[in-house]
Amino acid sequence: MADEQKDWWGFLGRTAAPVMERMHGLGLLQKLMVGIFVPILAAFLVIGGMLFVSAGPYVSIKQLGSNSLKDLGEASVKQSTVSVNRLGELIIQDKAESVAQQIEIYLESHPGLSGTSLLNDPRLQEIAVQRVGETGYTAVHNNKGINYFHVNPKIVGTDLHSLADKLPGFVKLMDKGLHGPVGGYYDWKDVDGKVRSKYMFTTPVEGTSLVVAATTYIDEFGKPAAAIRSETNQMEGLYAQEYSRKVTLFLVIVLLDLAILLGVVYLYSRSVVRPIRRLSDAADRISMGDLEARVIVEGKGEVANLAGSIERMRMSVKTAIERLESRKGPVGNRK
């Protein structure tokens, strides 16, 4: 730590040395302007750096606001996604249980249905295959994995285990639910090759070998979260636009302030230097023998005191010369 401080102070010394050398070559007016204006300019640069510049662990105010908005949006989207996914799971589960109860009631009221008559019953097919969400559906298979009712007629009558190569997650989840209620996720590959996550809940129909499965894409229920994400992105864009507008206004105001400050500093510096220049001119005239050049500086302070001292010196020199000349006169007459 001590070495770092030495290096820092050494850097400041090496940087300040040439600046001080240049300062020695400046006049008083320039020194006053540099001494007053440069610290003000440095303060503006520091403030600007805090507003706009991010470096290392330091985060600018702009970045801080953007990060806060982004973190808030991500947290909201994450929490919303978890909530709506859980709600979607409950909806799918409720649908499977509802269809299972409807099938149970229907079979109790139609005790003669079995085998082919069961598969060909149109009313039972309507009960077994219902919509879930926007694109999901319910289906019915037995406890051996043989499908009885499905939205796709080609699936009816097939052993669902034949999908193990194409949909291993689905088959694994189905096997778990052949003898009891089970819910879980599996990946489904769409026609366009996109892989999306589906949620399925299976539950047996009481008193039968039938199992009801309800499934759909879980992201159907995440549309509110997607809307929140979209709104957050829009807010970030609006924030960036508003920030840019305010930054432009800020820069314009800063430049105007600096211009005004430069003018004020110049006028102030001239007001300080002007009486000193008068004293310098008066001192030059006195040194050239013009003892009538009066030194007058209005006001108070060090410059006025210096002017008074020079004026007293002029009067003393003038008086001394007059006395000397008055003494030389009679001596000449005596000769």
Three-class DSSP category at 207: coil
The pLDDT tens digits for 236-250 are 667 677 767 777 787
Cβ atoms of 303 and 279 closer than 8 Å? yes
Residue 192 resides in a domain: yes
What integer pLDDT is reported at residue 29 of this predicted model? 63
Amino acid at residue number 242? E
Residue 35 resides in a domain: no
Residue-wise burial string across 265-301, b where 16 or more C-beta atoms lie within 10 A, e elsewhere: beeebeeebebeeebeebeebbeeeeeebebebeeee
Task: Say which residues have a Cβ less than 8 Å from residue 321's Cβ, sequence separation at least 6.
Answer: 291
Angstrom CA distances, 41 to 18, 24, 38, 122, 310, stand at 19, 21, 5, 86, 38
Phi, psi of 198 (to 5 degrees): -115, 150
Residue 325 resides in a domain: no
Whole-angstrom Cα distance, residue 73 to residue 231? 9
Is residue 1's pLDDT more than 70? no
Overall number of domains in the chain? 1
Higher pLDDT pick, 43 / 91: 91
What integer pLDDT is reported at residue 334 of this predicted model? 47
Angstrom CA distances, 229 to 36, 89, 123, stand at 50, 21, 43
Residue 233 resides in a domain: no
Least confident interval from 6-10, 71-75, 268-272, 294-298:
6-10
Instruction: Give residue 229's Cα distance to chain centre.
Output: 16
In CATH, what number is assigned to the domain containing residue 106? 3.30.450.20
Task: Say which residues have a Cβ less than 8 Å from residue 265's Cβ, sequence separation at least 6.
Answer: 32, 33, 36, 37, 40
Cβ atoms of 156 and 142 closer than 8 Å? no
The pLDDT tens digits for 57-77 are 554 455 555 555 555 556 555
Length of the chain in residues, anyone?
A: 335
Instruction: Give residue 149's Cα distance to chain centre.
Output: 53
Q: Kindly tell me the sign of the dihedral angle through the C-alpha atoms of 259, 265, 269, 271.
A: positive
Whole-angstrom Cα distance, residue 100 to residue 208? 10
Residue 291 resides in a domain: no
Residue 40 resides in a domain: no
Residue with tokens 């939205």: 151
Q: Which residues pair with 211 in a beta bridge?
A: 141, 204
Residue 298 resides in a domain: no
Whole-angstrom Cα distance, residue 138 to residue 129? 5
Work out the pLDDT band at 84, boundaries 50, 70, 90: confident
Q: How many CB atoms lie within 10 A of CB 112?
A: 7
Enclosing domain of residue 209: 95-222
Residue 52 resides in a domain: no
Indicate the average pLDDT of the chain: 77
The pLDDT tens digits for 182-237 are 999 999 877 677 888 899 999 999 989 999 999 998 887 766 655 656 666 676 66
20 conformational bin, left if phi > 0, alpha if psi -120 to 50, beta if neither: alpha
Whole-angstrom Cα distance, residue 44 to residue 24? 26
- Residue 215's closest CA among 91, 84, 105? 91
- Residue 108's closest CA among 85, 127, 86? 127
Cβ atoms of 194 and 122 closer than 8 Å? no
The pLDDT tens digits for 107-146 are 999 887 777 788 888 999 999 999 998 889 999 999 999 9
Q: Which residues pair with 210 in a beta bridge?
A: 142
| Pair of tokens at residue 141 | 């298979």
